[in-house]
Amino acid sequence: MATFQVVIVSLARSGRRERIAEVMTRHGVDFCFIDAIDAKLFEDGELDRLYDDAAARARYGRPLSSGEVACFLSHRLLWKSIANGGRSAVVLEDDALLDPEFFTKVLTWSEDTLAQTADVVLLGRSKLSRSSAARAYLYDPLKRAERIHGMRIGMPFKQWTSGAVGYWISPHGAMLALAHTQGPVRALLDDWPWHRDEGAMTIKELRPYVVWEGFESLVSELEGERSRLTPTTVCWRDWLLEPLRVGRLVARWTVAAAIRLADLTVVGGKRQGRAR
């Protein structure tokens, strides 16, 4: 039986609800849809009232699309519901693809145990395919991780804008998110470093991921808007930076190993003290 409510954020006109509803029903999950705010229904001048363009440009060097603003507002409505209801939730977007462990492990986690370690746990990453996951885990290890049902939850070395295709959020996390995002939207919904720094939220990640964005098979209206506003990156720059990434990889795994060794030493010392 699932411990958490599962809420799926979806545009009423998306045409994607039937697919994910069938998956949820097949696994016996109690779920619901929340109608996402539709940017196409903004009235003239409404976007100017809902959005702080100067703040967004200062952080990202570009404006946010109307779809990105609507996406943020949609999740903020959901956070309010979670905060008022006092029960944590797993939040999914309607293009989410789910591994079996999502149903057999994640949905049966202890809410109290999870709430003691994080406000938000990211269950997947935007624009990452299953075939590329091993490389992502290698280059982005967790500094320190706890094991719950054989799955690791921990803090990454670097948090970044990594999507909101699937995440768990506690009522306390929802209250923190609401408190620091009042007023016009001034950042991306999935700017997790911003939520951490501005909202004092503890945001961790799951490894391995169990939620995947269906970007290879499902067309994203939001992504189309985003790509038109985002500056084009230079491919050769990625190639030149690869040696730096390898060096960073070695450093991160070295630090992670040192932290793990220190933790084991502390635990061993406590056990010896009790034995005496």
Is 173:76 a contact under the CB 8 Å cutoff?
no
pLDDT at residue 77, as a whole number? 96
Q: Where are the domains of the chain?
A: 5-231, 234-276
pLDDT at residue 247, as a whole number? 76
This prediction's pTM = 0.83
What share of residues in the chain are helix, strand, coil (percent, to 5)?
Answer: 50, 20, 30
Question: Residues in the chain with pLDDT < 50?
Answer: none
Phi/psi at 86 (nearest 5 deg)?
75, 20
Domain 5-231 CATH assignment equals 3.90.550? yes
CB atoms within 10 A of CB 176: 22
pLDDT at residue 34, as a whole number? 95
CA 5 to CA 126: how far, in whole Å?
A: 22
Distances from the Cα of 266 to the Cαs of 147, 155, 271, in angstroms? 18, 20, 9
pLDDT at residue 29, as a whole number? 94
DSSP code per residue over 100-126: HHHHHTGGGS-HHHHHTT-SEEE-EET
